[in-house]
């Protein structure tokens, strides 16, 4: 099997996105348990969702990968569903941000923030699982040529610049590391 860099790159993003999912889910659980989570940490989660997951990763898929694979052996319907799911993720993220802002202004938005974090975590689990199966199919069937792969990788570099450049993407990774190291993320000892 010839591993394509463009497909592999997206699957690697999914590993990072699942880390974001774990953070969102843990934060939601803690909020439902009435534990204190710094609002700044929740705001960071929202920024990572918007900038890394949506703008950077979904940008690569929507602007490059999906258009390249859309007409390959009937993948059009799969891609249409993925795009609809991306919009669902954006809507959940917007509702989360709205509730975070309300909380920042003094409204007790603990429950809706917890709900939207949980919803986003469920979305990520379902969505990345389906996309990974799709990417495996693309790789197994050799649906992208080496030349197409090279073009996609060049476009990914453009997507990274549109998302703030290499430094901003690295900053997103540091924010994920920061969140994972927070006390509220650590396993409870009973």
pLDDT tops 50 at residue 128:
yes
Q: Please state the length of the chain.
A: 190
What CATH number should be reported for the domain holding residue 180? Answer: 1.20.120.520
Q: Is 112 a member of any domain?
A: yes
In a domain, residue 85? The reply is yes
189 located within any domain: no
DSSP string, 66-125: HHHHTTSTTTHHHHHHHHHHHHHHHHHHHHHHHHHHHHHTT---HHHHHHHHHHHHHHHH
In a domain, 163, yes or no: yes
Q: Which helix (H) or strand (E) holds 2?
A: none
190 belongs to a structural domain = no
**Residue in 146, 168, 123, 139 with CA at minimum distance from that of residue 10:** 139
Is 166 inside a domain boundary? yes
Q: Domain for residue 9, yes or no?
A: yes
Give the rounded percent of residues in the chain with a pLDDT score beyond 90: 74
pLDDT of 2 strictly over 50: no
Domains: count for the chain: 1
Assign 140 a pLDDT band (cuts: 50, 70, 90).
Answer: confident
Residue 172 domain-assigned?
yes
Rounded to 10 degrees, what is the CA torsion of 9, 176, 128, 25? 170
Q: Mean pLDDT over residues 99-116, rounded?
A: 97
Band (pLDDT 50/70/90 cuts) for residue 18 is very high
pLDDT tens track for 72-107:
667 888 999 999 999 999 999 999 999 999 999 999
Per the structure, the complete domain to which residue 33 belongs is given by 5-184
User: pLDDT at position 4, please?
Assistant: 58
- At 1, the pLDDT band (50, 70, 90 cuts) reads very low
Residue 186, φ and ψ in degrees, nearest 5: -70, 150
């Amino acid at each position: 099997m010839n591993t394509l860099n463009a497909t592999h790159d997206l699957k690697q993003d999914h590993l990072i996105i699942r880390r974001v999912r774990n953070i969102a889910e843990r934060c939601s659980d803690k909020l439902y348990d009435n534990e204190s989570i710094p609002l700044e940490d929740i705001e960071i989660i929202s920024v990572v969702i918007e900038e890394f997951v949506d703008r950077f990763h979904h940008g690569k898929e929507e602007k490059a990968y999906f258009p390249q694979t859309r007409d390959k052996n009937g993948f059009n319907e799969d891609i249409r569903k993925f795009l609809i799911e991306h919009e669902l993720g954006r809507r959940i993220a917007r509702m989360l941000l709205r509730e975070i802002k309300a909380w920042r202004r003094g409204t007790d938005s603990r429950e809706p923030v917890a709900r939207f974090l949980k919803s986003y975590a469920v979305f990520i689990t379902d969505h990345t699982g389906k996309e990974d199966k799709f990417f495996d199919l693309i790789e197994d069937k050799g649906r992208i040529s080496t030349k197409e792969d090279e073009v996609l990788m060049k476009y990914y570099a453009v997507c990274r610049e549109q998302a703030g450049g290499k430094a901003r993407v690295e900053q997103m990774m540091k924010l994920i590391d920061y969140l994972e190291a927070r006390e509220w993320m650590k396993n409870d000892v009973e």
